[in-house]
Amino acid sequence: MDLKYQLVLAGGGARGSYQIGVWKALRELNIEIDMVIGTSVGSINGAAFVCGAFEQAEYLWKTLDMPTLFDITYDKEDGEPGSVEYIESILKNKGLDTSTLKSYLEQVIDEEVLRNSPVDYALVTFSLTKMKPVILFKKDIPEGKVIDFILASSAVPGFKKQEIDGQLYIDGGIYDNLPVNVLIEHGYKNIIAVSNAAIGVYRRVQQSDAKILYIENQQIEGGILEFDPELAARNMLLGYLDGMKAFGKFIGKNYYISDNATHDYAKPLTDREIEMLYLNVKKSKRFVTESVLQFSLLRTLRNNTDGVLTAKRVFFAGMEITANTFGIEKIRAYTPEQLIAKIMAAYRSAKSAHRQIMKEKNNFFKNLIDKIWDKNRIRFDGKAAKKLYLGQVLIDKDNPSISLITTTEHLIANLFIYLMLWRRKKIKKDRR
């Protein structure tokens, strides 16, 4: 019997585009879902999921913006979405009119398809009239009222009031923004909970034998009312990568690295390499004892893994730390070879910058200050400073050795660069 999962989709307004990316990953992985529950925007995406309307939902998220979605007239010169001016424009309209949103939902969510789907569906809203939460499964939603109750679940403060049969409703996020407990109470055991890292009430999950897989990321960008196609595309990509990582298609804590290295220089550490790197660590200590240095290294490596240090995990942790030190883009998929190539290109650039600085030794401090500080704006350029600083810190010798410690991350970056240079040199030697 194939394993079936249940999907919980959190509220979060415009940040809900992240869930579409997770949905894309679940589709590619052929993950079977038999139940979906959502709060606020999660109820919208969840209904689209049950209807199987992925392409329509993805298209809407990639094309709609705030003025189009809510029929508001807004001059962008007065401020950006989320600014005081933007909020004032909403208040002038006595709240956001959701009639256009409703028409778009009707294009994506077909009530008949939803009711006939083998996938069950539920949503969370809150009755202002009765001052209590309302949790409705699709069998409980009155005929012809599915989209009305979805809008009720999504009625964040700032929207015009949602009234159904004489009752006023507000966003379900004020009661439970990630309703995992509802599924636990109904006996579901294999739950995927997708959070948008947004404000709302998050209830403590009940103790049970249910297995819960959380998919979330603090890098989701945008406010809850910041509907923007570019932000949506970025967050969808992030959701897709996180969804694939959750099911083992990528490894890494902050990067997305496939576990299919084919080249020798991208393989896990060998015993000989571990011994070699350890000797370099011993040489690098300056004002700290060897035991303190080892503790700091191990702690940093554990923080970049799941806590278990194997030769493979240490290698990938070192790769991630080095990539992050150079500011290499995180939100994209890499093979180990691709990320190493990016690292080595950044290293060569930093090395070149370092050599250029040394050629101008007499004017070094003047040049450094000129590059870091823009005298006209009196503004500190951190990126320029970081690039020059890395040029000073990283290895610049024919036979590299660790010579300068600033932070533990820099030391690990030095060790990783050292390892890559050593491996490439060894591979060339072995081919002769």
Q: Can you tell me the distance from the alpha carbon of 162 to that of 104, in angstroms, rounded to the nearest whole number? A: 17
171 token code pair: 């966003």
State the chain's mean pLDDT as an integer: 82
Helix axes 408-431, 290-303, angle to 10 degrees: 80
Place of tokens 């329509």: 56
Rg of the chain taking only CA atoms, in angstroms: 26
Enumerate the domain spans of the chain: 5-248, 258-431
Q: Can you tell me the distance from the alpha carbon of 334 to that of 331, in angstroms, rounded to the nearest whole number? A: 10
User: Is residue 127 classed exposed, middle or buried when 0-12, 13-18 and 19+ CB atoms within 10 A define those classes?
Assistant: middle
CB 176 within 8 A of CB 124: yes
Q: Specify the pTM.
A: 0.81
- Class of the 5-248 domain? alpha beta
Give the end-to-end CA distance of the chain in Å, rounded to a whole number: 54
Over residues 155-200, the pLDDT tens digits come to 887 777 789 999 999 999 999 999 999 999 999 999 999 999 888 8
CB neighbourhood size of 275 (10 A): 10
CB 211 within 8 A of CB 8: no
CB 12 within 8 A of CB 40: yes
Q: Can you tell me the distance from the alpha carbon of 132 to that of 123, in angstroms, rounded to the nearest whole number? A: 14
CB 70 within 8 A of CB 42: no
Q: Is the pLDDT of residue 204 over 70?
A: yes
CB neighbourhood size of 131 (10 A): 7
Q: Summarize the confidence of residues 205-222 as an average pLDDT.
A: 93
The overall longest dimension of the chain from CA atoms, in Å, is 84
Over residues 110-158, the pLDDT tens digits come to 999 999 999 999 999 999 999 999 999 999 999 999 999 999 999 887 7
Q: Is the pLDDT of residue 351 over 90?
A: no
Q: Can you tell me the distance from the alpha carbon of 112 to that of 47, in angstroms, rounded to the nearest whole number? A: 12
CB 183 within 8 A of CB 33: no
Place of tokens 């610049």: 396
What's the sign of the alpha-carbon dihedral 424, 426, 430, 432? positive
- pLDDT at residue 357, as a whole number: 54
Beta-strand relationship, 190-194 and 167-171: unpaired
- Which helix or strand (DSSP H or E) is residue 223 part of? none
Q: Is the pLDDT of residue 212 over 80?
A: yes
